[in-house]
Each structure stands twice: as C-alpha cells, then as structure tokens.
Chain A
Amino acid sequence: MHDGPSARELIEAVKNFIDRTAAPQLTGHSAFHARVASNALATVLRELDIRPAAEAEEKARLEKLLTTSGESANQLNAMLCAAIRSGRMDLSTDGLLSHLKSTTIAQLSVDQPGYSGLRSAAR
C-alpha cells in the first residue's frame, strides 16, 4: 500500500476545498454546516496527531489503576465504569481522578482545544 497522498493530505485537501471554495458560496444553514464540517475535519487531523500516544498512555494508566491487563483502552474503560458503578471505586480512590483528568485533557485537546474548561484544568 502507498500513502501518496496520505490520509492527512486528503483530509487537508478536502478541508481547504470547504474553507476556500465551497463555504464562501454558501449562505444560511448550509454555510453553518460547512463550518461545522470544516471543524470536524480539523478534529480528525488533531486526532491523527494526538490519539495514538494518548490512548497508549491511557491504557497503561488504566492497567495500573485496575491492576490488570486488557486488550484495549475501551475494554478497560468498561471495567472501570463497572467498578465505579458498583461503588468499588470513587473520588477517594488513589489515582482515579488524576487518571480521568489526564484522559479528559487529551480527549479535549482533540475535540475542543479552545474550550475554557481546558484552561481551568491546566491551572
């Protein structure tokens, strides 16, 4: 398989088309949706940069927190949810809140890097 153009280049090309060519010709609701579409592609570009390392770090933290190994962060998160729901883990659990904070900061860095709550969390 080749990657010329790469997934990143293809997404950038489509985003540029929306921003420079399509969006300026649209009005009203369609113009709004074009902006949302462009933002969604920006999210995908950030995800390509951030997710692989962030998810590996999340998985390592989850394995330490749950003292078990798992196939994926998703599977471990399901176990963490079950532990929280049953009351086995709560705010007083060592490392739980700091783990969730690190994970959410990484997620927001992809989803909404300009959100005010991200700045508050960093303080």
Chain B
Amino acid sequence: MPRPVLELAFAWLKANAPEPAGPVLVHGDFRLGNLIVDENGLGAVLDWELAHIGDPREDIAWVCVNSWRFGHSEKRVGGFGDLPEMLDAYAAAGGARFTTAEIDWWEILGSLKWGVMCMIMYSAYKTGADPSVERAAIGRRVSENEIDLINLFEGLGRHA
C-alpha cells in the first residue's frame, strides 16, 4: 500500500536532520493525556514506559502533534498553550533555549511516527492477530497524520 505523503516525510526528515541536542531524559509519550494537573499545578506525569535518553525536542514536539490538540489546532501545545511561551518556560527552568522553527522537524517526526503506529495497529487486523473492528477502523486515521504533515510542510517557510 504506497503512501507517498509518509514517503515524503521520511525523505524530508532524512535530508534535513538537525544537529543533535541534549542528551536529556526524554519521557517518550509527553502529551496532555499523560499529565495530571490540579489547582496547585502539575500533580503527576504518567506512563514512563517509553522513557529514554535523547534529544529534548522530541518531548517538546510530541505534545505539539496535532493528534494531541483534540480539535484546538490553533493552540500548538496540546490544544491549550502557545509554543513560544512553553519554550521560554523550558529555558527559564534550566533547559536549553530552542526556537519554534527548531521544533518543526521534530513535530513532523512525531506526526509521521503516530501515522506509522496507526498503520501497525491496523496491520494487527490485516494479519488476523486482532480481528476487532477497532483495529480495522484505525487504519482510516492515518490520513489525519498525512494532512498534518502536509500542513506542517506548508508552514515550514512561515515558521522559519
């Protein structure tokens, strides 16, 4: 099943790979669904099974992936925050200083990654490993990541 948008994302990421930053402890699934926040602020960060040593921009960009903005696309950080503000807070808390344009490559990687993960879940249906309607249907969500990738490609000039 050829997927030219995903192919373009793989090729573009390879051709435009940034110099590595860090290394730091990366959560690996850093998004709103894994944060517990109460009136006193951050209560807990859940689900550390994907944690690894790596580039800090991986986590910063993952919470920006449009799949995790839950319909509020205009707020780049998880559908609730603005990226310049988060980058300022990250630097103020002792992290490295990044620009919004530097996050683009990692957000494209994140959107591609979630598209591939949806295809893997669908392949569980295709191979018969999981015959549920849910596994079949998730294959029709990959086009969400494809439009996100196209929107990101179109925005590259504007963010820079």
Q: Which residues of A contact B (CB under 8 A)?
A: 32-33, 36-37, 39-40, 43, 74, 77-78, 80-81, 84-85, 87, 90-91, 96-97, 100-101, 104-105, 107-108, 110-112, 115-121
**Smallest CB gap from B8: residue in A:** A84
Instruction: Give the contacting residue for A80; candidates B2, B71, B133, B144; CB below 8 A.
Output: B2
For this complex, 17 residue pairs linking A to B, each with C-beta atoms less than 8 Å apart, are: A32-B134, A40-B133, A40-B137, A78-B2, A80-B2, A80-B4, A81-B7, A85-B7, A85-B11, A104-B150, A108-B143, A110-B140, A111-B140, A115-B147, A116-B73, A121-B147, A121-B150
Count the B residues whose beta carbon is within 8 Å of the partner chain — how many? 33
Check if B150 sits within 8 Å of A100, measured CB to CB.
yes
How far, in angstroms, from A40 to B138 measured CA to CA in the complex?
10
Instruction: Give the contacting residue for A90; candidates B8, B71, B148; CB below 8 A.
Output: B8
Summarize A's interface: helix, strand, loop or mixed. helix
How far, in angstroms, from A15 to B148 measured CA to CA in the complex?
30
Answer yes or no: B29 CB below 8 A from chain A CBs. Answer: no
What A residues does B71 contact at CB under 8 A? 116
Check if B147 sits within 8 Å of A90, measured CB to CB.
no
Instruction: Give the contacting residue for B153; candidates A33, A91, A107, A111; CB below 8 A.
Output: A91
Answer yes or no: B34 CB below 8 A from chain A CBs. Answer: no
Asked if A104 meets B5 with Cβ closer than 8 Å, knowing A37-B133, A111-B141, A111-B143, the reply is yes
Check if A90 sits within 8 Å of B12, measured CB to CB.
yes
Answer yes or no: B93 CB below 8 A from chain A CBs. Answer: no
Check if B144 sits within 8 Å of A90, measured CB to CB.
no
* Most chain B CB within a 10 A radius of its CB, from A78, A80, A104: A104
How far, in angstroms, from A75 to B141 measured CA to CA in the complex?
22
Check if A117 sits within 8 Å of B144, measured CB to CB.
yes
What A residues does B133 contact at CB under 8 A? 33, 36-37, 40
What 14 additional pairs, Cβ within 8 angstroms, besides A37-B133, A40-B137, A85-B7? Answer: A33-B132, A36-B133, A78-B2, A81-B4, A84-B4, A87-B11, A97-B150, A97-B153, A101-B147, A112-B143, A116-B71, A117-B144, A120-B147, A121-B150
What B residues does A110 contact at CB under 8 A? 140
Instruction: Give the contacting residue for A117; candidates B137, B147, B153; CB below 8 A.
Output: B147
